Chains A and B, each alone.
Chain A
Amino acid sequence: QKEVEQNSGPLSVPEGAIASLNCTYSDRGSQSFFWYRQYSGKSPELIMFIYSNGDKEDGRFTAQLNKASQYVSLLIRDSQPSDSATYLCAVNRGFGNEKLTFGTGTRLTIIP
């Protein structure tokens, strides 16, 4: 079983719709959860992090965490073509950078 599992996609979403990206993890001891965005040919950049169960909103982005189900998701509202990228889910047993474990990423395409 992969430590962090994501659907590789591609996920195609019409412009203006909600894009929903999902991630499951195997280590029940995981404490912190991150979403990185990586444009083609570019480096990953952090867009959201979440530590507690529930929702965390930041602009058009909402991260959702359910530790009981070992599930974390990222919702992107009012999707824009500029949101087209690969989204990497990462988890950590600690609250720092002891050892971030990444998923393979989901490629998202927003269709104008």
Chain B
Amino acid sequence: ETGVTQTPRHLVMGMTNKKSLKCEQHLGHNAMYWYKQSAKKPLELMFVYSLEERVENNSVPSRFSPECPNSSHLFLHLHTLQPEDSALYLCASSQEFKVSPTGELFFGEGSRLTVL
């Protein structure tokens, strides 16, 4: 089983829909992240959870709502999105948040979101 698993891999939704992205990590890590990857733009950090507590929220619109019920699972709830929100949403985990020997992030393969 891969370290970080994301579902669904592809999602098409209308602007009025409500959907959720799911991420699960099997690495025993304490920190989980949501990143947004758009074409020609750098990876943008959206949210960080450390031991199920949100520690970073990078001015993300409220139409994106994260949830971390335990250290292995992370959700991104989507509501009334805009077409410009179409992107690849990457979940990642790391051993710890602030103190990490290598700073390594382990990424899932992403959820490709298209908003019509």
Contact = CB atoms under 8 A, between A and B. Distances in A.
Q: Do A and B bind each other?
A: yes
Interface of A: 2, 4, 8, 32, 34, 36, 42-46, 49, 88, 90, 92, 94-105
B98 A44 contact: no
Interface of B is mostly: loop
A49 B105 CA distance: 12
Contacts of B109: 42-43
Interface of B: 4, 31, 33, 40-43, 45, 48, 56, 90, 94, 96-100, 102-105, 107-110
B103 A99 contact: no
| Main SS class of interface, A | loop
Most buried by A among B43, B100, B107, B108: B43
Contacts of A100: 45, 103, 105
B107 A45 contact: yes
A102 B43 contact: yes
Contacts of B43: 44, 88, 90, 102
Contact of B103 (A4, A8, A42, A96): A96
A42 B48 CA distance: 21
B103 A102 contact: no
B103 A32 contact: yes
A102 B38 CA distance: 12
Contacts of B98: 94, 96-98
Given A99-B45, A101-B42, A104-B42, A46 B104 contact: yes
A33 B7 CA distance: 30
Given A96-B96, A97-B31, A100-B45, A49 B40 contact: no
A63 to B, nearest CB: 13
